[in-house]
Amino acid sequence: MAKLIEGKLVAKKILDNLSDEILFLEKKPCLAVIIAGNDPASKIYVNSKKKKAEELGIKSIVIELPENCTQQEILEKIYTLNNDDSVNAILVQLPLPAHIDTKEVLEKINPIKDVDGLHSYNLGRIASGNKPYSYPCTPMGIIRLLEYYDIAVDGQNAVVIGRSNLVGRPLSYMLLNANATVTTCHSKTKNLAKITGQADILISAAGQKGLVKAGMVKKGAVVIDVGINRQQDGKLCGDVDFWEVEPDVSYITPVPGGVGPMTICSLMQNTFDLYKIQNRI
């Protein structure tokens, strides 16, 4: 039987420590989130980020823009936040409305305030094996989980399913930087099962329910499920067929309660780290 990787518990431990550190700061860190449009899931995510920040003593600003906002309006908000010394961290909640050029928006965030590490400066630093101001929150959360459970990465075969800038691509580089032998799979990959079957560490970030089944996973592998999908009954599930895969592997994350809480945890930690960098602490 596999050991469960309990992201919820690990995140709580990290955030308890963070809350203690923030308690002693005279001036508190500040996180600004821009949300544009009416995506219900995005609204839920932004509310939970605001709530968590406030619980920890992080000041939180949420800037809401309508679905029909213009590119210029978003860029102006970013410009204002970039130039506001009281704001340490800027997050643009994705996805943005379809008519908005997301790449341009992300590129306009000052890299030193880019709390989700999606600016090409920060992604480029990671790809070149250097330290960015911030690592993207979800990949960072996954690395922290591997560290917490003392799971060796050095020399292991790691397979990442997904190559988005948000998860798969930076995660692949971060695993490579940690000396794993990394294969990144995506929607055009042929013989996915053959590749995943070689993985000592398999991470799925495809957003496809039931993508990873028992026959695709090596015995004793570590399986991290990033996917968030809805089942017919409305409940959340990941990309991995948990009950099929679990008996064969050594570690596995549940969905929910695995990677999700670690993403929010990294967002809070990154906000604090940017505050420290900006205040030379």
Binding site for ligand NAD (CB under 6 A): 138, 161-164, 166-168, 185-187, 189, 192, 205-208, 211, 226-229, 259-260, 263
Which residue lies nearer to ligand NAD by CB, 87 or 141? 141
Which residue lies nearer to ligand NAD by CB, 179 or 187? 187
Which residue lies nearer to ligand NAD by CB, 117 or 227? 227
- Compute the least distance from the CB of residue 161 to ligand NAD, in Å: 5
- Compute the least distance from the CB of residue 76 to ligand NAD, in Å: 26
93 is catalytic: yes
- Compute the least distance from the CB of residue 183 to ligand NAD, in Å: 12
- Compute the least distance from the CB of residue 189 to ligand NAD, in Å: 5
Active-site residue, selected from the candidate residues 49, 52, 108, 113: 49
User: In the beta sheet, which residues pair with residue 157?
Assistant: 181
Which residue lies nearer to ligand NAD by CB, 148 or 276? 148
Active-site residue, selected from the candidate residues 93, 218, 241, 269: 93
Active-site residue, selected from the candidate residues 116, 225, 239, 241: 116
CA distances from 128 to 131, 135, 240 (A): 9, 13, 31
Q: Which residue is nearest to ligand NAD (CB)?
A: 207
How far apart are the C-alpha atoms of 148 and 146, rounded to whole Å? 6
116 is catalytic: yes
- Compute the least distance from the CB of residue 99 to ligand NAD, in Å: 18
CA distances from 255 to 55, 57, 67, 206, 270 (A): 24, 28, 30, 14, 23
190 is catalytic: no
Which residue lies nearer to ligand NAD by CB, 206 or 274? 206
Which residues are part of the catalytic machinery?
49, 93, 116
